[in-house]
Structure 1
Amino acid sequence: MRLEWLEDILAIADTGSFSGAAERRMLTQSAFSRRIKQIEDYVGVELFDRAHKPIRLKPTTTAQSEQIVQLTMALRQLVVDLRRGERMTSNRVVIACQHSLTAMRVPALLQQMPMERDGIYVRLRSANLDECTGMLLSRQADVAIVYRMPDELNDFGTDFLEELVIGSDRLIPVFNSPMPDLRRALTAQNGDQRFELPYITYPPDVFLGQVMERKILPFLNPALDHAPKLETALTLAAVEMAAIGLGVAWVPESLAQERLAAGTLFDLSPVLPVFDLQVIAVRVQGARNMAEGIFWSQLAAI
């Protein structure tokens, strides 16, 4: 059953005549009558009482009129959705980004871009670093936005990956108090004084876990007896755990800014190690569609 046929039936029900329905459907009366005959031949029954003036639906058709209305609306919406889906596919850019970047940096980044002008539709996919890389290489994502340690090159070389450095961040230690006892212990003249430092850790197979193991923990003051209190792969969870005093958390500074400004977290970087991070965008060389090319160009212009 075609959508136009259902609309023809409803037009007759609304106007009460073939001529009025033909005018509404912008057809000649003869062309409209032929189409009604075609509908009835397809269904195998007469749908209209032609003996009655004005013409009306037969009782069996009337009994199905509500279903015809609902089916017509559903088919119209399906057409709209299919057309919208096609536009979104051609104008869509899929961005894979690390969880902490999804929460803070990427929304601010997108806000700087006049994508409405180009009709670009963005789909964000949040994942850990390895998953972002996997989505990029398997073409499930057009662009990956991730953190990188500045002193490390990407593992894939530059033959088929293209990179842009689009920002920077710092991994900083935060806690729900300024920890004056810690500061006193680290500045004490007595080198035998020890201080227990509980901290939030990350799994060793995620990016920030690797940063902690290689760039933070080896540089802690020997006077600190540091012990992991809790492990999480989510930086937002680490922020919350630090805010309730479970332990010191090393988190991206951008993620902690609001709590630092509100005084519910304190930056301990004057006495504990920090590490600078780059924020980079990566794609497989050569844009695959218009949206990706425009998005990449706008990234390069920031």
Structure 2
Amino acid sequence: MLDIRWLEDLVAVAETRNITRAAELRNITQSGLSRRIQSLEHWVGAPLIDRRHAQIDLTDAGTKFLEAASETLARLNSARLTIRQDKTERLRQIRFAAPHILSVSFFPHWLPAIQTGLGSVRLSVASDNLPGCVGMLRDGTADFVVCLMDCEGEIAARADRSLAGEAWISVGRESLVPLSAPGPDGVTPVHALATATSRAVSYLAYSPECSLGWAVEGLLGRRPALTHLQTLYDNSLADGLRTMALAGLGVAWLPLTMTEGDMMRGRLVRAGGADMTIDLDIRVYRSQQRLSKKAEDLWQTLLTAQRPRAQPAEAIAV
């Protein structure tokens, strides 16, 4: 079996042209180096050095093999350095997977607090729908999944089963509010939700793969007397539904944090009462596998900072 040290020995001999000096460079006895060179020659099947003179020369076979040995060592050392750098970088990195809406509304405020508490750390967020995020947690490409769960359990019931066994921490609150563009008076919604009416209301829905839509569907299922909603448009992103709502095309259940400014400026108004609001919990799920030190430090910090769930919360600062 080839020993990588034999290749390094040959390179040292080729550089010094002297067994004694090569042995000193390799921190080995002269006899030990000679035996290792002989072992390499036996492995190659041909003499590699010419020992007839005080200044050692390589044989033709040795010259050819030296080129291959030098290239092999260079590639191995480069690969080792890259792997070590990747490992070091991985230990300093915390990887999140989250639905797009949280990347826009939650992480910009939460990530700076994390970095303040953890010091030098690289944070990355991959955006996907909830099943995609769960897949990243399962295959090890994400340390944590940050997602929204409704209090009625509609999202949890339809989320990937693997989340059921994962530990989680609540780190904030969100709400989905039914909103519409206002009418001429600036107060009355163009598309108002009501009961005991046969008038259809234009509805801007989330795409089937969007977990926010699962929560809205659950609410509508519990309100059989609600106005008939006629789906005009669907989108997997809340941003897309907000744009359509601002254009007056229908009612949409939109995150409160995203639309507070629109409501304050009168660009959007509530299309239904408080009973039409969906309360959401922002949760951080972790894998049961051992995480990097930085990721484990974050989890322990979140456990320490977790507030009682009975209290309303903004984002938990680390």
The reply to whether TM is greater than 0.5 is: yes
> Which residue of 1 is the match for residue 21 of structure 2?
20
Match for residue 208 of structure 2 among 204, 223, 226: 204
Deviations 1:159-205 (A, max 9, x none): 95543210123446789xx7665947648xxxxxxx99866432235
Unaligned runs of 5+ in 1: 188-194
- Structure 1 residues 219-258: aligned runs within 5 Å: 227-235=230-238, 250-252=253-255
> Are positions 1:297 and 2:304 aligned together?
no
**What residue number does 1:10 align with?**
11
In 2, Cα distance between the equivalents of 1:166 and 1:101?
Answer: 12
Identity %: 26
Contact 1:147 1:277 in 2 (8 A): yes
- CA 1:196–1:22: 2 relative to 1, 3 Å: farther
Q: 1:232 to 1:4 in 2, by over 3 A?
A: farther
Unaligned runs of 5+ in 2: 191-198, 306-316
Q: Post-superposition shift, 1:230? A: 3.6
Q: Would the alpha carbon gap of residues 184 and 159 (structure 1) be closer, same or farther in structure 2, given more than 3 Å must change?
A: closer
**Alignment-mate amino acid for residue 49 of structure 2:** F
| Corresponding position of 1:165 | 170
Greater shift, 236-245 or 7-16, is seen at 236-245
Letter in 2 for 1:12: V
In 2, distance between residues paired with 1:167 and 1:62?
Answer: 67
User: Do 1:174 and 1:267's aligned partners in 2 also have CA atoms closer than 8 Å?
Assistant: no
Q: Check whether the contact 2:179–2:251 (CA below 8 A) recurs between aligned residues.
A: yes
- Aligned partners of 1:98 and 1:132 also within 8 Å: yes
Residues 64 and 146 of structure 1: is their aligned pair in 2 closer, same or farther, counting only changes over 3 Å? same
Work out the CA distance in 2 between the residues paired with 1:62 and 1:243. Answer: 75
CA contact (8 A) 2:178 2:271 kept: no
Would you say the 8 A contact 1:91–1:289 is kept in 2? no
Checking the alignment, whether the CA contact within 8 Å between 1:171 and 1:250 is kept in structure 2 is yes
How many residues in Structure 1 have an aligned counterpart in Structure 2?
Answer: 285
CA deviation profile, 1:248-297 (whole Å, cap 9, x unmatched): 7655455679xx79xxx99524557764422112347x774564542321
1:113 aligns to 2:114 (yes or no): yes
Paired AA for residue 80 in structure 2:
V
TM-score, length-scaled by structure 2 = 0.62
* One-letter amino acid of the structure 1 residue matched with residue 300 of structure 2: S
Alignment deviations for residues 1-46 of structure 1 (CA, whole Å, 9 cap, x no partner): 3332222222222223223322222222222222111211111111
Q: CA RMSD in A?
A: 5.0
Are 2:49 and 1:48 equivalent residues in the alignment?
yes
Residues 44 and 237 (structure 1 numbering): CA distance in 2 closer, same or farther, change over 3 Å? farther
Is residue 268 of structure 1 aligned with residue 268 of structure 2? Answer: yes
Kept in 2: contact 1:50–1:56 (CA 8 A): yes
Distance 1:215 1:21, change over 3 A: same
- Counterpart secondary structure, 1:294: helix
What's the secondary structure of 1:45's corresponding residue? coil
Q: Distance in 2 between matches of 1:256 and 1:9?
A: 70
Q: Specify the alignment match of 1:71 in structure 2.
A: 72
Report Cα offsets for 1:99-155 as digits up to 9, x if no partner: 43356634654443359969988786654334545776x685664321011344855
Q: After the TM superposition, which residues 28-107 of structure 1 pair with which residues of structure 2 at under 5 Å, given as runs?
A: 28-51=29-52, 54-81=55-82, 95-102=96-103, 105-106=106-107
